[in-house]
Amino acid sequence: MGKRKETAFVWRQTCIAPDIYDMWIDTGLAEEAKPGQFISIYPENRSTLLPRPISICEADRENKRLRIVYRTVGKGTAEFSDYHAGKEIEILGTLGNGFPLEKARGKTCFLMGGGIGIPPILQLAKELKAMGNCQVNIIVGYRDANLFLDKDLQQYGNLYIATEDGSVGSRGNVMNAIEENGLKADVIFACGPMPMLRAIKQYAEANQVEAYISLEERMACGIGACLGCVCKTTHKDPHSHVNNARICTDGPVFDAKEVEI
Amino acid sequence: MAENKKEKNLNTEVTIAGVTFKNPVMTASGTFGSGMEYGEFVDLNKLGAVVTKGVANVPWPGNPTPRIAETYGGMLNAIGLQNPGMEVFIERDLEFLKQFDTKVIVNVCGKSVEDYLEVVERLSDEAVDMLEINVSCPNVKEGAIAFGQKADALYNITKEIRKKAKQPVIMKLSPNVTDITEMAKAAEAAGADALSMINTITGMKIDIHKRAFALANKTGGMSGPAIKPVAVRMVYQAANAVKIPIIGMGGIANAEDAIEFLLAGATAVSIGAMNFVNPYTTMETIQGIEDYMLQYNIEDIKTLIGAVQ
């Protein structure tokens, strides 16, 4: 079917941690959704024009439902957090490339998520477990004891938690959790804040481990036309012919070796 | 509705500098790439024209990120005219556009007169219906807008380009000037075949939580519905100052907006930022214009141009 904009419906929504919302959406886009992809949701308030790109947390293909877990950070997400079951919404999807699952075959994997970068890790963990033939270690970092998605994640791999205040699991971030637990991997999949992704890129290079990281940037179109959301690449990007790849279309998941962050 | 159009004998064609467009709806440069991405959503054959993203003689990397910021009813961008350069553009983008039954207007950017001329000459034997000269991008420090904010500079570059160009030349005007009619007249006097307006309005946004600029470039070009009244006013003023046709743009979201521009004096219109809000905006606008013509028994769209009382 390809990318499309469609009218979808909120199936249910709950607040699962301070400022963190868990929304299930009834949409046919669920059938094509891949872990690491995202959808764009259009606010109804026309003073906030641009769609909000939000990563897919879970795809229930059988019931045609997508789950997103997001943090309220501005007017758009604040509007979304007020939506109740049955609410009609305009969405665009599915967008982006997604995580390369095949890279996990026969490997020991780290699935790393930091803060609001944790949600896409869930669908990835679920699909890797279903694929089999790989060992999944999930390492997630939170600010404090207000955890979310941890119970979902633990069904699909060995779960390690880090909190900045040390209230749960390792004190510090996901890198501290790896060290404290003496973990090693052949391949890393990660989504989270830029300092975390930089640390992972560095770690991966030092330990000669493959790493696939999901980036984010301010976007307008979400489909590769406006060139708003670029990241610097080590090689000339085949589309732009300069060292810039489009996060919305060429990403959001990149081989860490190929981006300069 | 297609049958309806035929039955009722609606004529939506407009002509600019000898080039006839099946309808007056185009895409604003920089918001639509070369149509590849939006081709997944809309039938490019139905467009009056595709106006491409700006093309320079060599690849331009553009500005650092963030390049995009949302504002009330609009947005700021500071892409910085990232483009792959004319050779890749000709090989890939123009080849792609050849498949479609629509007109192709190539937006040309440069840092010096020589840069512009190099692109204009290189495109002279290519499948390009018209050239749109971008002398109004507010996001590139060298050149570019310097040509678009002084009447004598605009006159000179228009004249140079007009001498070399094989295709009709549209000069894209900046709204960031004191008197738009002075610029319109300068372009016309130098031989421009048409004008397009308005490019984005220079703006700024500050993130009060980070106490930092929202854009890496600090300033950016504002577009979207919030700027539409400014654009309508400028099109009206320019249309009354010159005889050459005008392609109007600035926040057009639907047929009502498009018709407003036609009434103000535009011969055609471009959809820009609203493509980002609804990828089907161009198609809905074309349909809406036909519906309006039927509603008011208008047989020929040309009777709407400049028809405000």
Q: Chain A partners of B72 at a C-beta cutoff of 8 Å?
A: 47
What average pLDDT score do residues A170-175 get?
97
CB B261 within 8 A of CB B235: yes
B27, B37, B139: best to mutate for the A interface, most A CBs within 10 A? B37
Chain A residue set in contact with B, beta carbons under 8 Å? 2-5, 42, 46-51, 92, 217-231, 239-244, 249
pLDDT digits (tens, 9 = 90+) for A39-78: 999 999 989 999 999 999 999 999 999 999 999 999 999 9
Q: Chain B partners of A239 at a C-beta cutoff of 8 Å?
A: 84
d(CA B167, CA B102): 16
Q: Which two tokens stand for residue B144?
A: 């570019």
> Closest Cα of chain A to B297: distance in Å?
32
- B224 to chain A, any CB pair closer than 8 A? The answer is yes
Q: Count of A–B CB contacts within 8 Å?
A: 109
Backbone angles phi, psi at A52, to 5 degrees: -100, 115
Q: Chain B partners of A77 at a C-beta cutoff of 8 Å?
A: none
**pLDDT of A223 above 90:** yes
CB B108 within 8 A of CB B131: yes
Q: Chain B partners of A223 at a C-beta cutoff of 8 Å?
A: 37-38, 40-41, 279
The pLDDT, as a whole number, for residue A185 is: 96
B51, B60, B68: best to mutate for the A interface, most A CBs within 10 A? B68
Judged by CB atoms closer than 8 Å, whether chains meet at B279 and A5 is answered as yes
**pLDDT of A238 above 60:** yes
Judged by CB atoms closer than 8 Å, whether chains meet at B73 and A2 is answered as no
> Closest Cα of chain A to B63: distance in Å?
10
CA distances for B172 relative to A180, A255, B55, B300, angstroms: 60, 40, 14, 27
CB B105 within 8 A of CB B94: no
**pLDDT of A240 above 90:** no
Q: Which residue is it, tokens 């400049």?
A: B306
A32, A48, A50: best to mutate for the B interface, most B CBs within 10 A? A50
pLDDT tier at A14, thresholds 50, 70, 90: very high
Averages of pLDDT over each 10 residues, chain B, 309 residues: 64 98 98 96 98 96 96 96 96 97 97 94 97 83 72 94 98 95 97 98 96 97 98 98 98 98 98 97 98 96 96
> Which of B187, B177, B176 lies closest to B17, judged by CA?
B187
User: ipTM score here?
Assistant: 0.91
The beta-carbon neighbor of B59 closest among A4, A50, A242 is: A242
pLDDT digits (tens, 9 = 90+) for B83-112: 999 999 999 999 999 999 999 999 999 999
Q: Chain A partners of B212 at a C-beta cutoff of 8 Å?
A: none
Which residues of B are catalytically annotated? 137
The pLDDT, as a whole number, for residue B148 is: 84
As separate numbers, helices (DSSP H) first and strands (DSSP E) second, chain B gives: 10, 16
Q: At what angle do helices B180-189 and B151-164 cross, to 10 degrees?
A: 30
d(CA B48, CA A63): 41
The pLDDT, as a whole number, for residue A116 is: 97
Q: Chain B partners of A222 at a C-beta cutoff of 8 Å?
A: 276
The average confidence (pLDDT) of chain A is: 96
CA distances for A101 relative to A56, A97, A154, A174, B101, angstroms: 15, 11, 19, 21, 40
In B, residues 233-292, which contact A (CB 8 Å cutoff)? 273, 275-280
Judged by CB atoms closer than 8 Å, whether chains meet at B279 and A243 is answered as no
